[in-house]
């Protein structure tokens, strides 16, 4: 069964059969149409290849007669064949051969260590019987996925990439690469509904399939996308589509199972931490045993950490847990890390009391780790606080309390998408924190913003105000963070100012609104299936 459209030499080069091939010369002939694929031991003037023929020349028996390659290039050009693929050459295809190929516009391809007959058969099958090749590849994928030892995300991506000769990767909600070989999406579209989408706006087609882990969720709320880029023929594009659809179902099962395990582990960690923070001395032995079972220790000098995450719900806090812990470990902050309703809490333990001079180094290490994290995830912001070091379990409770307090102040204090502060660096801001965290201020904050809250059912205006103030009232920077046009941000800010009846040119007005936004964010509760466990 033939292809619907002519296949070019360039598309043939994208074949899985030619993944080890190298194009040496003759790039100007890549758009020529292939009409046939044939194997030759040598080419002669009295038996030239056919017009449009993709010639496979087995050079294993040429020996020292390398002139036969030069002769083959000339014969191919005269016969209007389209390319020369040399297999198993026992010599280097030198500058002279390359110049000749460039002169005649004959793509010169070398395929080392190939079975020339098998290669020719595969290329002919892909040219004339792409549906048969597709069925064989789909069967190979299904066979591989049925083997339990291949049950991993990386293995699924690897098999699809090998069978389709494409770059394949898994993207998260923020389009960051979770696994696989990165694909540059640029301004191309990803699937926004349940259907497989192919964006043909570039030379290589971008395929994407949404993966939704929770039954009933809309595809535009996809947890992941399976993405691949393919420059092959139409038959190869159909093959990739089939492989991705099958692979996405298997990946959904793997990722759902992994999420269930992760949530179970998170509940266990959260329960132990909650008991640790609330327990009395009478129950410390039980708490220590539970901590020991999780591999945790509080024996020594404990320095608490708290990371506040914005731009994600609690399900993403759980999903990002492993990455955040790894980044902290790489920054030299190796210790337990526990998911909370607003981010993560954790601590590092030292045998001896850390010197006061080490505080600034810890802030710098944590700040660098957070900056790298937000740079890898568009739309997220994270600010962290560090407590003082204290001895043993009771000291750990105190340090974690200080870290949470420092994180709240850091969140209100720092602009940008990330930042870290030590409790001892905050000075007079800690005095303000007593009022800032009070019920009186919570009521005052809601009173200030009530005109906006009355009409802002989806929190778009409040979020815009908050980001705008964080961006030092820069419309352009706020638009970048929100993913909006700057005119949209400007229009929203004019509407907010009209609703509140104030001008944002006044510094005191800006400060009052920024503190009020912070207070509402602190009191805003997440909506998640794991909300109860995260309290």
> What's the structural domain count of the chain?
4
Q: How far apart are CA 183 and CA 169, in angstroms?
A: 7
Domain containing 91 — which CATH number? Answer: 3.40.1390.20
Residue finishing a domain among 73, 104, 128: 128
Looking at the fold, whether 109 and 151 belong to one and the same domain comes out as no
Can you give the pLDDT at residue 281?
Answer: 55
Quote the percentage of the chain above a pLDDT of 70. 89
Q: Are residues 208 and 136 in the same domain?
A: yes
Q: Where are the alpha helices (DSSP H) in 165-283?
A: 234-278
Q: Is residue 507 in a domain?
A: yes
pLDDT of residue 220: 58
Q: What is the CATH number of the domain that holds 520?
A: 1.10.10.2840
pLDDT in tens, 282-305: 467 788 888 888 889 888 999 999
The answer as to whether 292 is a domain residue is: no
* Inside any domain, residue 269: no
Evaluate if residue 2 carries a pLDDT over 60. Answer: no
Range of the domain at 173: 130-257
User: DSSP class of residue 165?
Assistant: T
Report the range of poorest mean pLDDT among 36-40, 119-123, 220-224: 220-224
HSE-CB at 408 with a 13 A cutoff on CA atoms is 22
Average pLDDT, the chain: 84
Q: Which of 348, 343, 352 is nearest to 321 (CA)?
A: 343
Residue 157 domain-assigned? yes
322-355 pLDDT per residue, tens: 999 999 999 999 999 999 988 999 999 999 999 9
Among residues 257, 286, 315, the one where a domain terminates is: 257
Q: Which two tokens stand for residue 398?
A: 């105190």
Domain boundary among 399, 427, 455: 427
54 within a domain of the structure (yes/no): yes
**Is the predicted pLDDT of residue 434 greater than 60, yes or no?**
no
Based on the domain organization, do 65 and 123 belong to the same domain? Answer: yes
Max intra-chain CA distance, the chain: 99
Which residues, at least 6 apart from 313, have a Cβ–Cβ distance to it below 8 Å? Answer: 526, 527, 528
Are both 249 and 339 inside the same structural domain?
Answer: no
The secondary structure element, H or E, covering residue 309 is strand 301-310
Q: Does residue 266 lie within any of the structural domains?
A: no
Question: Are both 134 and 252 inside the same structural domain?
Answer: yes
Q: Indicate whether 433 belongs to any domain.
A: no
Give the CATH number, domain containing residue 360: 3.30.70
Answer yes or no: do 484 and 474 share one domain. yes
How many angstroms separate the CA atoms of 441 and 444, rounded? 5
Q: Sign of dihedral through CA atoms 268, 273, 274, 276? A: positive
Of the two residues 15 and 383, the one the predictor is more confident about is 383
Q: Please name the helix (run of DSSP H) or strand (run of DSSP E) that holds residue 443, with its range, or none.
A: helix 439-455
pLDDT score for 14: 84
Does residue 49 sit in the same domain as residue 27? yes
Residue 284 lies in a domain: no
| Shared domain check, 102 and 15 | yes
- CATH number of the domain encompassing residue 201: 3.30.450.40
Provide the token pair at 336. Answer: 């337990």
Same domain, 338 and 356: yes
User: Is 33 in the same domain as 118?
Assistant: yes
Judgement on whether residues 124 and 137 belong to the same structural domain of the protein: no
Shared domain for 134 and 119, answered yes or no, is no
Q: In angstroms, rounded to a whole number, what is the distance separating the alpha carbons of residues 447 and 136?
A: 67
- Output the pTM of the full model: 0.58
∠ CA(44), CA(50), CA(52), 5° rounding?
125
Q: What is the DSSP letter of 47?
A: B
pLDDT tens digits along 406-424: 887 777 666 678 989 888 8
Neighbours of 199 (CB within 10 A): 18
């Amino acid at each position: 069964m033939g292809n619907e459209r002519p296949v070019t030499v360039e598309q043939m080069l994208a074949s899985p059969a030619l993944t080890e091939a190298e194009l040496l010369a003759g790039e100007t002939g890549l758009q020529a149409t292939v009409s046939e694929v044939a194997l030759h031991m040598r080419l002669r003037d009295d038996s030239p290849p056919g017009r449009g023929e993709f010639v496979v020349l087995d050079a294993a028996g040429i020996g020292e007669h390398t002139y036969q390659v030069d002769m083959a290039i000339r014969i191919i050009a005269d016969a209007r064949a389209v390319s020369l693929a040399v297999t198993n050459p026992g010599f280097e295809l030198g500058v002279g051969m390359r110049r000749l190929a460039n002169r005649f516009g004959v793509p010169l391809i070398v395929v080392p260590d190939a079975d020339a007959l098998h290669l020719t058969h595969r290329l002919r099958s892909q040219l004339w019987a792409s549906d048969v090749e597709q069925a064989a590849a789909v069967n190979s994928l299904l066979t591989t996925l049925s083997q339990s030892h291949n049950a991993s995300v990386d293995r699924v991506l690897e098999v699809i990439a090998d069978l389709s000769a494409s770059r394949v990767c898994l993207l998260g909600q923020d389009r960051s690469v979770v696994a696989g070989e990165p694909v540059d999406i640029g301004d191309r579209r990803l699937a926004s509904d349940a259907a497989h989408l192919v964006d043909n706006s570039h030379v290589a087609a971008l395929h994407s399939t949404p993966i939704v882990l929770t039954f009933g969720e809309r595809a535009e709320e996809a947890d992941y996308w399976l993405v691949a880029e393919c420059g092959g023929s139409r038959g190869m594009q159909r093959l990739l589509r089939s492989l991705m659809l099958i692979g996405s179902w298997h990946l959904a099962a793997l990722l759902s199972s992994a999420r269930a395990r992760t949530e179970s582990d998170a509940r266990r960690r959260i329960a132990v931490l909650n008991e640790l923070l609330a327990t009395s001395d009478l129950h410390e032995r039980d708490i220590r045993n539970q901590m020991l079972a999780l591999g945790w220790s509080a024996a020594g000098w404990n320095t608490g950490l708290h990371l506040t995450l914005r731009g994600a719900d609690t399900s993403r806090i759980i999903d990002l847990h492993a990455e955040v812990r790894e980044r902290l470990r790489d920054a030299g902050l190796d210790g337990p890390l526990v998911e909370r309703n607003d981010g993560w809490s954790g601590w590092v333990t030292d045998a001896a009391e850390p010197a006061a001079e080490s505080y600034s180094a810890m802030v710098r290490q944590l700040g660098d780790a957070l900056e790298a994290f937000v740079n890898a995830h568009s739309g997220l912001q994270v600010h962290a606080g560090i407590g003082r070091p204290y001895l043993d379990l009771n000291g750990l409770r105190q340090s974690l309390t200080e870290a949470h307090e420092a994180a709240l102040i850091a969140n209100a204090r720092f602009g940008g998408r990330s930042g870290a502060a030590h409790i001892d660096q905050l000075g007079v801001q800690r005095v303000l924190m007593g009022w800032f965290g009070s019920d009186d201020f919570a009521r005052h904050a809601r009173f200030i913003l009530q005109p906006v809250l009355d009409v802002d059912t989806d929190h778009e205006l409040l979020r815009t105000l908050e980001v705008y103030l964080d961006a030092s009232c820069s419309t352009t920077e706020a638009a970048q963070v929100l993913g909006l046009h700057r005119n949209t941000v400007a229009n929203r800010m004019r509407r907010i100012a009209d609703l509140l009846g104030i001008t944002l040119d006044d510094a005191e007005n800006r400060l009052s609104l920024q503190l009020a936004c912070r207070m509402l964010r602190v009191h805003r509760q997440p909506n998640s299936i794991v909300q109860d466990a995260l309290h």
